[in-house]
Amino acid sequence: MKKFEADVLIAGSGVAGLYCALHLRSDLKILVLSKSELTETDTYLAQGGISTALDEKDIPLFVEDTLKAGDYENKVDAVNILAKESIENIMELIRYGLQFDKHNSGLSYTREGAHSVNRIVHQKDETGKAVAETLIAEAKRRSNIELWEHTTMVDIIKEGNRCIGGVLMKEGEIIEVAAKDVVLATGGVGGLFKKSTNHRTLTGDGVAIAIKNGVELKDADYVQFHPTVLDRGLENERRFLISESLRGEGAILVNSKGERFVNELLPRDEVTAAIERELEKSGEKCVYIDISFMDSEFVKTRFPAIYQECLKSGIDMTKDRVPVSPAQHYYMGGIKVDLNGRTSMENLYALGETACTGVHGKNRLASNSLLEGLVFSKRAAKTINETADKIELVKEGKGYTLELDKKAVIKELKGSSGKYEDELFSY
């Protein structure tokens, strides 16, 4: 078995893992892992954009929109931080070189469900790709950051309630990594669902590690379904999202008779429920999103990736309605963390979709996920920077296992009421 040492070991190369790495001190040796390729993350797939307060005056309204969408189950402190620290993080991405779409001399803001105003910055319909490519390029420029692809963290190494490293599987080889701090940023749980917009490889690994080590979870059964996912009638493939920003720009939802049945800009859970009621009533498999009545040049320029993907299925969205149905999209629950990403285990952090900061409550407000990844991973990095010198590296690992137990994660997702029984794979 191989051994390796790092100051900080980060599992996950999405926005949370990479942004945390980029905010760690340059004298710390950092190892970032990707289970597959660096770009195979849900960050890369994000279409709509990143929410941000427009200015100081917009902060209270942004907070209220986030709380309302979350059914007021959100952690208010976390929501205040999200809104207050949003602008500085968007500015930081711009300093890294990310070019958001512009309107006149400023940023172009779009709208999505349950936002009272247009406050979502974007790069056409591939904002996540722009974020991922920007962060990966920046990480590659840093000599203190190592990026390992095709490497899965299968367990942490602990001493009592203190995390002292991680165990990795890389091309069939086991590698023990001694680390002062370990960060779980392994993304969501969509790979456990039959229909999901997530990469199939994202199977709640961080949550599985937390469960086997007695690390506390929060809202473990809070899963979000996106209302408008391209319905090609295919089984067991990753579902292609039809971004909520289409509705933000004016697209409507209709049934097969062409009738509208819901306010398209309600919170995501309410639109999903309305579609499910409509499908129940009609006995059909999908409803339709219609943007064909808008200027075709605008549609093709504003949504080029979605336009091209629909064409592959023979649908020209400048002329045709696009068949959509709900699919699993996001995990609001996860490993319970404080406002600086700390879990219930010492020196173990969780970030992004793997963590539950409580910011989303019961239902995440559209485009708050990349923002959460930015804001809370920067805060975690600050805490790690301030404490790393006091932590001693422990080089002897013991007591870990190599199994990532998907069934244990599924049990948590189902909760006491046995939710999502039909939607989840059974292993």
User: Is 239 noted as a catalytic residue in this protein?
Assistant: no
Cβ closest to ligand SIN, residue 225 vs residue 349: 225
Maximum alpha-carbon separation in the chain: 67
When binding is defined by CB under 6 A, the residue of 47, 66, 89, 357 that contacts ligand SIN is 47
Q: Does 110 bind ligand SIN (CB under 6 A)?
A: no
In angstroms, the CA 399 to CA 212 distance is 11
Q: Does 290 bind ligand SIN (CB under 6 A)?
A: no
Q: How far is the CB of 190 from ligand SIN (least distance, A)?
A: 12
Which residue(s) pair with 147 in the sheet?
32
Cβ count within 10 A of residue 395 = 11
Cβ count within 10 A of residue 92 = 15
DSSP codes of every residue in 25-65? -TTS-EEEE-SS-TT-SHHHH--S-EE--SSGGGHHHHHHH
Cβ count within 10 A of residue 296 = 15
Q: Is-contact 203 405, C-beta < 8 A?
A: no
What 3-state class would DSSP assign to 254? strand
Q: With contacts defined by CB under 6 A, name the span among 72-80, 92-100, 316-324, 361-369 that binds ligand SIN.
A: 361-369
Going by C-alpha positions, the residue among 228, 253, 231, 255 that lies closest to residue 242 is 228
In angstroms, the CA 22 to CA 30 distance is 10
Q: Is-contact 240 230, C-beta < 8 A?
A: yes
Q: Does 198 bind ligand SIN (CB under 6 A)?
A: no
Sole residue written with tokens 């002897």: 396
Cβ closest to ligand SIN, residue 86 vs residue 367: 367
Q: Does 244 bind ligand SIN (CB under 6 A)?
A: yes
When binding is defined by CB under 6 A, the residue of 14, 17, 48, 373 that contacts ligand SIN is 48
Phi, psi of 349 (to 5 degrees): -115, 155
Angle at 200 between CA 196 and CA 204, to 5 degrees: 90
Angle at 210 between CA 208 and CA 215, to 5 degrees: 155
When binding is defined by CB under 6 A, the residue of 189, 366, 371, 410 that contacts ligand SIN is 366
Which one is catalytic: 239, 247, 268, 321? Answer: 268
Q: With contacts defined by CB under 6 A, name the span among 290-298, 313-321, 343-351, 363-371 that binds ligand SIN.
A: 363-371
When binding is defined by CB under 6 A, the residue of 152, 243, 328, 377 that contacts ligand SIN is 243
When binding is defined by CB under 6 A, the residue of 34, 255, 357, 369 that contacts ligand SIN is 369
Q: With contacts defined by CB under 6 A, name the span among 12-20, 162-170, 203-211, 238-246 that binds ligand SIN.
A: 238-246
Number of residues that bind ligand SIN (CB under 6 A): 10
Q: Does 367 bind ligand SIN (CB under 6 A)?
A: yes
When binding is defined by CB under 6 A, the residue of 34, 66, 213, 245 that contacts ligand SIN is 245
Q: Does 328 bind ligand SIN (CB under 6 A)?
A: no
Strand pairing report for 217-218 and 287-290: unpaired
| Two tokens, residue 115 | 């936002």
Cβ closest to ligand SIN, residue 123 vs residue 367: 367
Q: Could you list the active site residues? A: 268
- Give the residues lining the site for ligand SIN (CB under 6 A): 47-48, 241, 243-245, 330, 366-367, 369
